[in-house]
Amino acid sequence: MSRSLKASYGMLAVALIAIALAACGSKGTSGDSSSPGGGSVKGGPGVTASTIKLGVLTDLSGVFAPLAKPLTQANQLFWKQQNAKGGVCGRKVQLIVKDHGYDPQKAVVQYRDMSQNVAGLQQLLGSPITAALLPTLKSDSMLSLLSAWPSSLLSNDNIIIVGTTYDIEMINGLDYLLGKGLIKKGDKIGHLYFEGEYGENGLKGSKYFAGKNGMSVVEQKIKATDTDMTGQVAAFKRAGVKAIAVTTAPTQLASAAGIAASQGMTVPIVGNNPTYDPALLKTPAAKVIKANAYIAGSIAAWTVAKPEVKQVGDDFTAAYPKSDPKAAVQFGYAQAKVMYEILNQGCKNKDLSRAGLVKAAHQVSGIDTGGLIAAPLDYTKVGQPSERAIYIAKPADVIGGLRPLPGTFESATAKSYNVAGS
Partner 1 sequence: MSDRRRLIARVAMIALVAVLLWLPQYAEAFWLQTGLFAMSAAIGAVGLQLLVGVTGQLSLAHAFFVAVGAYGYCFLAGGGPGGGVEVPSGAQLPPVLAMIGAVLIAGALGGLFSPIAGRLSGIYLGLASIGLVFIGQHVLFNAKGVTGGFNGRDAEPFNLFGFSFSNSHPDLTVFGVPYGGLERLWYLGLALVALSIWYARNLTRSRPGRALQTVRDSEIAAAVMGVNVPVYRAAAFVVSSMYAGLAGVFLALAFGRVVPESFGFLLSIDFLVMIVIGGLGSIRGAVAGALVVTALPQLFDHYSGSLPFVTAPGGDGLQPADAARFLYGAAVVAVLIFAPQGLAGLSRGLVGRRAVPDQSVRTDTKESTA
Partner 2 sequence: MSQFTELLISGLSLGCIYALIAMGFVIVFKATKVVNFAHASVLWLGAYLVARWHDSLGFFGAVGAAAVICAVVAALCDVVLVRALRRRGGGQDALAILTIAINIVLATELSRLVGTDILPSGAPWGSDVTHVFGVVVPQTRVAAAVVAVVLMGLFWVAFTRSSWGVAMRSAASDPEAAALMGIRLSRVAAGAWALAGALAAIGGAFFTSFPAPGVDNATGLLALTAIPAAVLGGLDSTAGAVVGGLVIGVATTFAAGYQDEISFLGRGLSQVVPYIALLLVLLWRPSGLFGTREIRRV
Note the residues at the interface with partner 1 (CB under 8 A).
Answer: 1-17, 19-20, 22-25, 27-28, 60-62, 69, 72-73, 76, 97-99, 101-102, 104-106, 108-110, 112-113, 115-116, 127-128, 131-136, 139, 152, 155, 195-197, 200, 322
In whole angstroms, how close is the CB of 222 to partner 2 at the nearest point? 5
DSSP notation for 76-115:
HHHHHHHHHTT-BTTBEEEEEEEE-TT-HHHHHHHHHHHH
- Is the CB of residue 391 less than 8 Å from the CB of residue 172? no
258 binds partner 2 (CB under 8 A): yes
| Interacting residue with partner 2 among 232, 275, 292, 386 (CB under 8 A) | 232
| Interacting residue with partner 2 among 72, 82, 165, 251 (CB under 8 A) | 251
335 binds partner 2 (CB under 8 A): no
User: ∠ CA(260), CA(262), CA(265), 5° rounding?
Assistant: 45
- Is the CB of residue 57 less than 8 Å from the CB of residue 125? yes
| Interacting residue with partner 2 among 95, 288, 309, 338 (CB under 8 A) | 288
CA distance 399 to 303: 7
259 binds partner 2 (CB under 8 A): yes
Partner in contact with 226, chosen from partner 1, partner 2, none, beta carbon below 5 to 8 Å by kind: partner 2
28 binds partner 2 (CB under 8 A): no
99 binds partner 2 (CB under 8 A): no
293 binds partner 2 (CB under 8 A): no
Classify residue 273 by burial, with Cβ atoms within 10 Å: 0-12, 13-18, 19+: buried
221 binds partner 2 (CB under 8 A): yes
User: Residue type at 419?
Assistant: V
Tallying the residues shown for the chain, one arrives at 422
- Is the CB of residue 144 less than 8 Å from the CB of residue 120? yes
Question: Could you tell me which stretch among 74-82, 130-138, 277-285, 409-417 binds partner 2 (CB under 8 A)?
Answer: 277-285
Partner in contact with 355, chosen from partner 2, partner 1, none, beta carbon below 5 to 8 Å by kind: none
CA distances from 309 to 64, 289, 315, 383 (A): 24, 24, 10, 28
Element (H, E) at 308: helix 307-319
246 binds partner 2 (CB under 8 A): no
| Interacting residue with partner 2 among 45, 250, 325, 385 (CB under 8 A) | 250
Partner in contact with 398, chosen from partner 2, partner 1, none, beta carbon below 5 to 8 Å by kind: none
In whole angstroms, how close is the CB of 230 to partner 2 at the nearest point? 4
Classify residue 38 by burial, with Cβ atoms within 10 Å: 0-12, 13-18, 19+: middle
In the bound state with partner 2, the residue whose beta carbon lies nearer, of 265 and 360, is 265
> Cα dihedral sign for 148, 150, 156, 157?
positive
Partner in contact with 127, chosen from partner 1, partner 2, none, beta carbon below 5 to 8 Å by kind: partner 1
Element (H, E) at 403: strand 402-404
| Interacting residue with partner 2 among 66, 90, 128, 370 (CB under 8 A) | 66
Could you tell me which residues come within 8 angstroms of residue 3 by beta carbon, excluding any fewer than 6 positions away?
none
Q: Per DSSP, what are the bridge partners of residue 63?
A: none
In the bound state with partner 1, the residue whose beta carbon lies nearer, of 290 and 320, is 320
In the bound state with partner 1, the residue whose beta carbon lies nearer, of 45 and 346, is 45
CA distances from 272 to 23, 40, 189, 266, 418 (A): 45, 45, 15, 19, 19
Partner in contact with 259, chosen from partner 1, partner 2, none, beta carbon below 5 to 8 Å by kind: partner 2
| Interacting residue with partner 2 among 10, 28, 264, 307 (CB under 8 A) | 264
Site string for partner 2, 170-209 (x = CB under 8 A): -------------------------x--------------
In the bound state with partner 2, the residue whose beta carbon lies nearer, of 91 and 326, is 326
96 binds partner 2 (CB under 8 A): no
Buried b (16+ CB within 10 A) or exposed e, 222-256: beeebeebeebbebbbeeebbbbbbbbbbbbbbbb
CA distance 116 to 131: 20
User: Residue type at 276?
Assistant: Y
Q: What radius of gyration, in Å, describes the C-alpha atoms of the chain?
A: 23
In whole angstroms, how close is the CB of 395 to partner 2 at the nearest point? 13
- Is the CB of residue 247 less than 8 Å from the CB of residue 148? no
In the bound state with partner 2, the residue whose beta carbon lies nearer, of 50 and 227, is 227
Partner in contact with 138, chosen from partner 1, partner 2, none, beta carbon below 5 to 8 Å by kind: none
Binding site for partner 2 (CB under 8 A): 61-63, 65-66, 69-70, 195, 218-232, 234-235, 237-238, 250-251, 254-255, 258-259, 261-264, 277, 279-280, 282-285, 287-288, 324
